[in-house]
């Protein structure tokens, strides 16, 4: 017995097949693009953390300029600044980054205040270079935050886009946190 299909049924099967193939193509393409976007957001996050580590290094060098002139600085900055930070500064969570950022901001403001109040330190060439570097790092950190937030917001938008929802659920993509 030969099975004959009506032209309507054949057309329906072709249309459904094309829609299904197109949907699968969009999902695979969406996964690849979202994965790359997620990696870019993570790189931007890493860059912000590196800038915090650089700021910490500059503050340590600033504290050494104070010691060179035997200028008293607050106790929390005495032992090469505390808390001790190293390579772990490059792998911070958002909460840790906010804590470190607040600490480093307070430390840099205090150190610059004490430096500007002391004529010897204020005129020191090393201090001037370090101050310029610190201000440049602050400017770059603000730019890095803006770039990270732009990418994170874009990623968050696309993972909630209706046609990409199935693949984002399967791949366990989650919203990226916004940095203030």
Q: What is the pLDDT of residues 69-116, one digit of tens each?
A: 888 776 665 554 554 555 566 667 777 777 888 888 888 888 888 888
pLDDT at 95: 73
CB-CB neighbours of 4 under 10 Å = 7
Alpha helix (H) residue ranges in 69-118: 94-117
Tokens 């205090």 locate to 110
pLDDT score of 80: 44
Give whole-number Cα distances, 178 to 33, 101, 119, 136, in Å.
Answer: 20, 15, 41, 23
What is the pLDDT at residue 89? 61
Considering Cα of 114, then 120, then 122, then 127, what sign does the dihedral take?
Answer: negative
**Helix-strand-coil percent breakdown of the chain, rounded to 5?**
80, 0, 20
For the chain, residues with pLDDT lower than 70 are 1-2, 74-91
> What is the reported pLDDT for 76?
60
* Integer Cα distance of 116 and 127 in angstroms: 10
Confidence at residue 129, expressed as pLDDT on a 0 to 100 scale: 95
- CB atoms inside a 10 Å sphere around CB 67: 12
**Among 117, 36, 109, CA closest to 77:** 109
């Amino acid at each position: 017995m030969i099975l004959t299909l009506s032209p309507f049924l054949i057309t329906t099967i072709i249309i459904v097949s094309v829609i299904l193939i197109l949907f699968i193509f969009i999902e695979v393409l969406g996964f690849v693009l979202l994965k790359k976007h997620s990696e870019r957001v993570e790189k931007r996050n890493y860059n912000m953390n590196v800038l915090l580590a650089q700021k910490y290094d500059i503050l340590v060098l600033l504290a050494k300029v104070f010691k060179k002139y035997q200028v008293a600085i607050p106790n929390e900055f005495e032992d090469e600044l505390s808390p001790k930070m190293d390579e772990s500064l490059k792998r911070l969570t958002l909460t840790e980054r906010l804590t470190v950022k607040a600490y480093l901001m307070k430390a840099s403001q205090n150190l610059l205040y004490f430096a500007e109040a002391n004529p010897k330190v204020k005129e020191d060439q090393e201090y001037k270079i370090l101050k310029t570097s610190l201000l440049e790092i602050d400017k770059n950190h603000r730019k890095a935050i803006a770039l990270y937030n732009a990418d994170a917001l874009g990623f968050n938008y696309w993972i909630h886009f209706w046609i990409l929802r199935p693949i984002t659920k399967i791949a366990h993509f989650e919203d990226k946190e916004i940095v203030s």
